[in-house]
Amino acid sequence: MSHHDKHDDHDDDHEEHHDDHDDHDHEEHHDDHDDHDDDHHDDLHLELHRAVDELGKYAIDIEIRSKEGVPKDKIKEVIEESMRVTTVNCLKNGADMIGHTKSFLICENGNIMSSLLDENKPAKIKDNVTSDKIYDAKFILHVIVHGMWDDKVREYSLQVLPDVFKKHKVPYKVIKDYYDLEKSIAHHL
């Protein structure tokens, strides 16, 4: 399903907004190049947009599984600390501002959503998990910072994240992580 399919009733508004946002005509600019330059043009266009927002984005999908169960309060400490240490480590190593660090914990008895916009203030946590112990959960952490590329956000997040789980003795397994490798590589060339 394309982006436009999801918002059929707003297509006209979206197109107007896009035209207002764009300061150049893609078709005219495209005609200036031979067909073999199409890929380069698309890459350059992405890189230009990336350079404008300068946001580094990283997400990690973690499984938490325990036969004995982990107390919900301990899980909330892990969530808060995971968000804080990854963000602070990025800020210490070159990021100049938090974009938005957020997380989602999904388990059989509900979910916990968290948000961190300022490293000096407590994370906002919305907890609707109905049990006191969590046996099986999926924890998704998104780190978005300004002034750092995706591969570096990943590197600095992974430097500190495992220590949080070890410190709290919470068993975990990384299922997958997501970051834009292509843009990060293009930036370093």
- Shared domain for 95 and 170, answered yes or no, is yes
- Shared domain for 123 and 155, answered yes or no, is yes
- Shared domain for 135 and 118, answered yes or no, is yes
- Structural domain ending residue among the three candidates 53, 79, 95: 53
- Shared domain for 27 and 70, answered yes or no, is no
Helix axes 38-53 and 181-188, enclosed angle (nearest 10): 90
- Look at 122-126, 157-161, 177-181 and tell me which has the smallest mean pLDDT: 177-181
Give percent of the chain above pLDDT 70.
67
Task: Report residue 51's pLDDT band, with 50, 70 and 90 as the boundaries.
Answer: low
Q: Please state, in angstroms and rounded to a whole number, the distance separating the CA atoms of residues 151 and 138.
A: 23
pTM for the predicted model, two decimal places: 0.69
- Shared domain for 78 and 39, answered yes or no, is no
- Shared domain for 90 and 24, answered yes or no, is no
Q: How far from the centroid of its chain's Cα atoms is residue 86's Cα? A: 12
Task: Report residue 55's pLDDT band, with 50, 70 and 90 as the boundaries.
Answer: confident
- Shared domain for 27 and 72, answered yes or no, is no
- Shared domain for 139 and 102, answered yes or no, is yes
- Shared domain for 49 and 60, answered yes or no, is no
Higher pLDDT, 13 or 72: 72
Strand order in the sheet with 110-116: 124-127, 110-116, 97-107, 133-146, 55-71, 172-178
Q: Please state, in angstroms and rounded to a whole number, the distance separating the CA atoms of residues 101 and 84.
A: 8
Q: How many CA atoms lie within 13 A of 106 on its CB side?
A: 6
- Shared domain for 157 and 167, answered yes or no, is yes
Domain count, the chain: 2
Look up the domain containing 20 and give its range.
3-53
Total number of residues shown for the chain:
189
pLDDT at residue 4 tops 50: no
Position 188 scores a pLDDT of 46
The tens digit of pLDDT for each residue in 98-119 reads 989 999 999 999 999 999 999 9
Task: Report residue 13's pLDDT band, with 50, 70 and 90 as the boundaries.
Answer: very low
The chain-wide mean pLDDT, for the chain, equals 79
- Look at 41-50, 84-93, 150-159 and tell me which has the smallest mean pLDDT: 41-50
- Shared domain for 181 and 100, answered yes or no, is yes
Position 107 scores a pLDDT of 97
Which structure tokens are listed for 81? 């600390």
- Shared domain for 118 and 172, answered yes or no, is yes
Position 183 scores a pLDDT of 52
